[in-house]
């Protein structure tokens, strides 16, 4: 059994990684770190984990590297860049959930995250862990930057159309709707209180969200030129899920059926992407609690645009599920090990 | 007191008109028609109306015209066009909540609603009842077509930018998020069950929704040329509210502050439109239960686009509130009579 | 116009009192106090109040008494007892939303609230402001203690049965289900985050909630002997509303119809209490945003028990609405002035 | 691999059994029956099951018995009693999700379900499938009646206190709060629409619910005399979960700690029951999507009552999860096989 450590175990991403790994046939959780719950069983943070056979939470420290072979770092940005180097030097595999290693260009990171990067050389050695785009690179990676939740939904919805030249990348507009768990467990702002968030939809960080450059980096790589996109995230009153609706101008005539066919080919080897039939549309409920992504397309001949839609669980394919998928690839395990179960419906 | 009749009293729009009018100082509800609840008090349909001094529900028939001076017709499309002519001939004022009289060109109606129009000449005499665009026309109208909920949110968000030539109308993309009450009370489809709709966001009628040509008609009138827009509605798990996020390319440089200023001027005489400050964004909760519309703008200099956002209560400004606002104007009453109360927060 | 001041204007109760009073025909808000929003318009706290003609928030201080004739004190317990004496000495009428003056016996307060009472003599002069039980006392009161939300729902459900000797008071069990807004706006505990509270029901403060002695005080007064009750509050994933289900053993045979008749007589002069018909049950949605209370009864001949149920809006009849109702009575105004509007449905 | 058939595959219970069994190591789904989806893949009913390796849905018919070794019958009451005899005669094991075989006394069934029983002799041979009460009987059963969701929550909360004589069974009052999925997928009544159910709590079937005699049957067996209980179900605005709050008079002094100890002993061998620590209370979210039951107790010395609380997922321990647990026991498999995964949190 491969030994796994999770740092930031009491955050939502950490808890969800634990949930997935408890059912994983090839790995064992040997280390959990959480400052808040240090010395306690993680069940005191997550009542769904009460009674599970898990190590008591530790405070992350110098000897952590001895405790596991693979580390999931589920902390806020700015943390992993100070820790990953040592873990890598010790021969560990590292999957970072934060933005620290998502940008090949550290300057972009510094500009959007207002944080000086402490491990700039590592950003070029890290692999952006979206297996549907970079499966082979992930297999051989020691350091994977787990993609942001919004970029995951947007890129899966757009990648085939961009790489096949179906749409004009400069015309891309991405409108995303997310459940509240994306805000994490430690944000005690007014807007995250139940009474404020329930029965309300609202945009935030309009044309200003930090996931924008991450989307742009990957779209630009796919089409071979620098591209800027419009991206607007919204909070909707649900716990899990991101529904992404992306718009772009077609550069050649195509029917919805042809576009769907192109996507099906592109994702034929991707077990977690489901391309829906013509006239079917994704719903976040369909993938809740799972690592799946549902994708739908509609060509609008009236306006000459493609509407590409995707649904993911922001905690699953948008975070913990994808991280385990990356781990499977990094360890040479079957890509679906431990994360193949169906979502909860209804 | 002006006598008011409401036909379709047991639907959500009908019930909400009743709720607003119960507090209206200048009118009295003298007639309620509902086939389902005929012979019963409307409190058996809407428990919030139990015990109110209201006429027992009737079945709509030939003598209805005697019962009131103003009629709200809150039925599905295809109904009002057969009834409005007689009411107008009898000198009544009519506010139709359906799509029957929203299109100046009956052919557009017939094409999108798959229904032959039975009163084509009336479509040209009807006034599209969005007071912020056509206040004077509404004042003198005998027949008002109450706008659709989505067009109300989209047009209020876009009209100033379109009419002032700030954006390219051909580039408009409208992404709308609606609560479930927009589906009405009689749609017993699987997707409207609580267990299916809760904790889920999903698009529907992508590039195909009947409110699209309604938006296009008014945008085209504002800019003086035929325009097509992309419009995608989504269902989000809440009862009331529509959050509209609209995107368009700027045709000239402008800052967010300048754009906001332009909007404030345009809506200076519109008591129900609130233009938020720079960096503030609308939430549907802020207007729930009210006739208000909150609007925000963001110029994105990186992409050269304007993001225009609005929040309304689909039952308020998107239906019943706006209908009462129209009635006030038609009767020469203060525009805000009976509908000035603040929304419910939280 | 009577001048009204609201202290604690940026809390949920404060905001709701403002909302009600904006439509009140006989009073004018002349003073708002909020430390957090001092110097700002209350619209920055409550977006539904943006643009309203209201005084800028002040910090409560010595000269407050000059600013209004009636004061609503909407602060946490332990605050009003230090302030009410001066306001009363200055001839003001005071309605306190906290628990400070709800107990005729200050020792009970001190025991349950772990706070020394600073104005013990006043507790006996204060009137418990549940108009359906003490309408005449409220009319002549200078200081009203607005009842807790749970006691309001429980007492309205039980009072007629207790006072008429239909049930054994010692057998009373009260199971209450509340929306999250009851927790107020400043409790930033984990359990009030949307992601934690949504899709979950949970009991709290079992057999230990501070509203227990308040219910007992009034039940005991109604039946003329000291009574203890079981009371369990639960949080349910909604913003507003309390559904109370109360159980008690019948001391004499009665049918549901007879019990309902007894309640209807008891509440014949209470405009805000609606006793539902046999077989009908209350729902919190039916009274959301209003000052109404819906009550239902069921006699269970199999077990010899009465099940008494009530639905209120915890922010309406459970707090702000009731406070305005009390104010109306204190000022000799019609009991329903400004608070007669119907709830929001759906 | 044991071959499993599920009849009523497109209902919520059916879909959830499929979800659990897809991850079960020892069985294979070889037969799915659904009249509505006959000839189609179950993914067209449940989007979380799109693409799964599952047999196409059939219409249940005479040859069904050939298709599997174990049958889950997930139909409405009145169906299984006509089908189970033949399946049993063919040597199959049967787990019925309906009420048809829950009552040892067919007359009770006939009285509460208003349906003549077609297989009265079988009711005495059937085993009530609550493993925590009847584990050994389930192991040797050919026909298991899967308990109702409410009885599961109530009995797990009360059984130890009843069987150990801690409480007076005649004093039991059960107040249950359920999510909407309990209503099933085919009830198209107004109250189950999102807009009607959201933001509302309401009781129903007060002192009249069909699960009442089921609870009474088992409580009576536990205490050795005929007992009647008060039971009130409520709908709360969430999809999954039942929170049960039960009240009863103590017949002897006990502390909360002692009562908890008694429960821990009673459930020591029950892997799916978690007895929480003193001062901790269950939340339905803690068990969502799982087969676990969380239990808490509070002795109220002021009133001499015990408050016993439990949380289950009505689709998990309240239906599908428990049915798989029963199957495991009937087949001699580990009790937790395929159902040990943690719930989804948050």
Contact A283 B201 (CB under 8 A): yes
Q: How far apart are CA A220 and CA A229, in angstroms?
A: 10
Q: How far apart are CA A294 and CA A243, in angstroms?
A: 10
Q: Taking the alpha carbons of C68, C70, C76, C78 in that order, is the dihedral positive or negative? A: positive
Q: Give me the residues paired with residue B20 across strands.
A: none
CA distance B179 to chain D (A): 8
Whole-number percent of chain B with pLDDT over 70: 100
pLDDT of residue C186: 85
Which residue, among D281, D276, D310, has the nearest Cα to D293 in the 3D structure?
D310
Per-residue DSSP letters for A270-283?
-TTEEEPPTT----
B48: contact with C, CB 8 A cutoff: yes
Residues of D in Cβ contact (< 8 Å) with B190: 185
Q: What is the CATH code for D2-146+317-330?
A: 3.40.50.720
Contact A46 D345 (CB under 8 A): yes
B222 CB-side CA count, 13 A: 26
pTM, full prediction? 0.98
Q: Is B244's pLDDT higher than 80?
A: yes
Q: Is A187's pLDDT higher than 80?
A: no
Q: Give me the residues paired with residue D128 across strands.
A: D145
C-beta of residue B305 within 8 angstroms of C-beta of residue B297: no
DSSP-based three-state secondary structure for D4: strand
Residue C177 makes CB contacts below 8 A (sequence gap 6+) with C201, C233, C234, C236, C242, C243, C244, C245, D177, D201, D234, D236
Q: Give me the residues paired with residue C49 across strands.
A: none
Domain ranges for chain D, please list them. Answer: 2-146+317-330, 150-314
B289, B341, B346 member nearest C23 (Cβ):
B341
Q: How far apart are CA B314 and CA B306, in angstroms?
A: 24
For A189-220, what is each residue's pLDDT tens digit? 899 999 999 999 999 999 999 999 999 999 99
Q: Which residue has the tokens 């529509």?
A: B242
Mean pLDDT of B114-123: 96
B52: contact with C, CB 8 A cutoff: yes
Both structure tokens of A128: 């952006």
For B178-205, what is each residue's pLDDT tens digit? 999 999 998 778 999 999 999 999 999 9
Superfamily of domain C150-314: Dihydrodipicolinate Reductase; domain 2 (3.30.360.10)
Burial class (CB in 10 A: 0-12, 13-18, 19+), C62: exposed
State residue A227 phi and psi, 5-degree precision. Answer: -130, 145
B298 CB-side CA count, 13 A: 23
Contact C49 B342 (CB under 8 A): yes
Q: Is A40's pLDDT higher than 80?
A: yes
Number of H helices and E strands in chain B, helices first, is 10, 13
C-beta of residue C232 within 8 angstroms of C-beta of residue C203: yes
Contact C239 A185 (CB under 8 A): no
Which residue, among A174, A53, C290, D301, has the nearest Cα to B19 in the 3D structure?
C290
For A77-88, what is each residue's pLDDT tens digit? 999 999 999 999
CA distance B226 to chain C (A): 37
CA distance B341 to chain A (A): 19
pLDDT band at C177 (very low <50, low <70, confident <90, very high): very high
Q: How far apart are CA D147 and CA B293, in angstroms?
A: 51
Probe site for chain C from B24, B50, B239 (most C CB atoms < 10 A): B50
The stretches of chain C forming alpha helices (DSSP H) are: 12-22, 80-89, 106-113, 120-125, 131-139, 149-163, 194-197, 211-223, 256-266, 321-330
Q: Is C340's pLDDT higher than 80?
A: yes
Q: How far apart are CA D96 and CA D98, in angstroms?
A: 6
Whats the size of chain D, residue-wise?
Answer: 346
Residues of A in Cβ contact (< 8 Å) with C193: 180, 185, 188, 192-194
State residue D101 phi and psi, 5-degree precision. Answer: -120, 20
B44: nearest CA partner in chain C: C280
pLDDT band at A186 (very low <50, low <70, confident <90, very high): confident
Q: Is B80's pLDDT higher than 90?
A: yes
Q: How far apart are CA C151 and CA C210, in angstroms?
A: 10
Residues of D in Cβ contact (< 8 Å) with A9: none
CA C338 to chain centre: 17
pLDDT of residue B188: 79
pLDDT of residue C62: 85
D302: contact with B, CB 8 A cutoff: no
Residue B181 makes CB contacts below 8 A (sequence gap 6+) with B12, B239, B240, B314, B315, C346, D195
Mean pLDDT of C254-268: 98
Q: How far apart are CA D127 and CA D138, in angstroms?
A: 6
* Residue D26 burial (CB count, 10 A): 16
Q: Which residues of chain D have pLDDT under 50?
A: none
For A227-258, what is each residue's pLDDT tens digit? 999 999 999 999 999 999 999 999 999 999 99
The residue ranges of DSSP E strands in chain C, in sequence order, are 2-7, 27-33, 70-73, 93-96, 127-128, 143-145, 173-178, 202-203, 230-235, 242-249, 273-275, 293-300, 305-312
* Residue B94 burial (CB count, 10 A): 26
Q: Which residue has the tokens 């769904």?
A: A48
Q: How far apart are CA D70 and CA D5, in angstroms?
A: 6
Q: Is B44's pLDDT higher than 90?
A: yes
Q: How far apart are CA A127 and CA A207, in angstroms?
A: 26
Residues of B in Cβ contact (< 8 Å) with C51: 274
Q: How far apart are CA B226 and CA B223, in angstroms?
A: 8
B51: nearest CA partner in chain C: C274
Q: Which residue has the tokens 């891309």?
A: A172
A190, A199, A239 member nearest C195 (Cβ):
A239
CA distance C312 to chain A (A): 17
Question: Judging by DSSP bridges, how do beta strands B93-96 and B70-73 pair with one another?
Answer: parallel
C-beta of residue D125 within 8 angstroms of C-beta of residue D100: no
Q: Is the domain C2-147+317-330 a CATH 2.60.40.1930 member?
A: no
Contact D47 A22 (CB under 8 A): no
Question: Judging by DSSP bridges, how do beta strands A2-7 and D202-203 pair with one another?
Answer: unpaired
Q: How far apart are CA A59 and CA D92, in angstroms?
A: 54
Q: Which residue has the tokens 């309906």?
A: D98
- Which class is domain B150-313? alpha beta
Q: How far apart are CA C233 and CA C212, in angstroms?
A: 10
**For chain C, which chains pass the contact test of at least 3 CB pairs under 8 Å?**
A, B, D
D177, D200, D307 member nearest C206 (Cβ):
D307
Q: How far apart are CA A55 and CA A68, in angstroms?
A: 12
Residue B101 makes CB contacts below 8 A (sequence gap 6+) with B80, B81, B84, B119, B122, B123, B126, B143, B144, B145
pLDDT band at B149 (very low <50, low <70, confident <90, very high): very high
Residues of C in Cβ contact (< 8 Å) with A197: 194
Residues of D in Cβ contact (< 8 Å) with A319: none
A175, A229, A282 member nearest B202 (Cβ):
A282
Which residue, among B16, D230, D234, B43, has the nearest Cα to C277 in the 3D structure?
B43
Which helix or strand (DSSP H or E) is residue A259 part of?
A: helix A256-266
Burial class (CB in 10 A: 0-12, 13-18, 19+), B1: exposed
Contact C180 A197 (CB under 8 A): no
Q: How far apart are CA B6 and CA B29, in angstroms?
A: 8
Q: Give me the residues paired with residue B299 across strands.
A: B306
Residues of D in Cβ contact (< 8 Å) with A345: 15, 19, 46-49
Whole-number percent of chain A with pLDDT over 90: 98
C-beta of residue B307 within 8 angstroms of C-beta of residue A229: no
Per-residue DSSP letters for B185-234?
SS---GGGBHHHHTT--EE-STTT-THHHHHHHHHHHHHTS----EEEEE
Whole-Å CA distances, A275 to A259, A270, A297, D41: 11, 11, 9, 16
Residues of D in Cβ contact (< 8 Å) with A52: 342
Contacts 24+ apart (CB under 8 A), B300-303: B300/A206, B300/A207, B300/A230, B302/A207, B302/A228, B303/A207, B303/A228, B303/A229, B303/A230
Contact B307 A239 (CB under 8 A): no
Whats the size of chain A, residue-wise?
Answer: 346
ipTM reported for the complex surpasses 0.95? yes
DSSP-based three-state secondary structure for B345: coil
Both structure tokens of C230: 């079981």
Probe site for chain B from C14, C42, C48, C180 (most B CB atoms < 10 A): C48
Number of H helices and E strands in chain C, helices first, is 10, 13
Contact B202 A245 (CB under 8 A): no
D238: contact with A, CB 8 A cutoff: no
DSSP-based three-state secondary structure for A35: coil
Q: Taking the alpha carbons of B146, B150, B156, B161 in that order, is the dihedral positive or negative? A: negative
């Amino acid at each position: 059994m491969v030994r796994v450590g999770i740092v930031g175990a009491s955050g939502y991403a950490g808890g969800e990684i634990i949930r997935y790994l408890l059912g994983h046939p090839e790995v064992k959780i040997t280390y959990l770190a959480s400052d808040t719950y240090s010395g306690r069983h993680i069940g005191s943070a997550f009542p769904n984990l009460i009674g599970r056979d898990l190590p008591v939470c530790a405070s992350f420290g110098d000897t952590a590297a001895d405790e596991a072979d693979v580390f999931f770092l589920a902390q806020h940005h700015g943390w992993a860049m100070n820790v990953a180097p040592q873990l890598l030097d010790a021969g560990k595999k590292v999957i970072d959930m934060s933005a620290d290693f998502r940008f090949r260009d550290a300057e972009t990171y510094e500009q959007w995250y207002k944080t000086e990067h402490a491990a700039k050389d590592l950003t070029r050695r890290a692999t952006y862990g979206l297996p549907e785009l970079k499966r082979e690179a992930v297999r051989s990676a020691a350091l994977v930057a787990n993609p942001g939740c919004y970029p995951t939904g947007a890129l899966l919805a757009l990648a085939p159309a961009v790489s096949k030249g179906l749409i004009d990348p400069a015309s891309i507009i991405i409108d995303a709707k997310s459940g509240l768990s994306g805000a994490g467990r430690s944000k005690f702002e007014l807007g995250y209180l139940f009474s404020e968030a329930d029965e309300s939809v609202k945009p935030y960080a309009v044309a200003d969200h930090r996931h924008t450059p991450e989307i742009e980096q990957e779209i630009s790589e796919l089409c071979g030129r620098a591209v800027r996109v419009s991206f607007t995230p919204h909070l909707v009153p649900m716990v899990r899920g991101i529904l992404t609706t992306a718009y772009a101008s077609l550069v050649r005539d195509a029917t919805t059926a042809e576009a769907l066919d192109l996507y099906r080919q592109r994702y034929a080897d991707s077990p977690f992407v489901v391309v829906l039939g013509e006239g079917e549309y994704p719903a976040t409920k369909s993938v809740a609690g799972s690592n799946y992504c549902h994708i739908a397309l509609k060509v609008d001949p009236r306006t000459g645009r493609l509407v590409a839609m995707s649904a993911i669980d922001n905690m699953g394919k948008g975070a913990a599920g994808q991280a385990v998928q990356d781990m499977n690839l990094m360890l040479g395990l079957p890509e679906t090990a431990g994360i193949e179960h169906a979502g909860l419906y209804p």
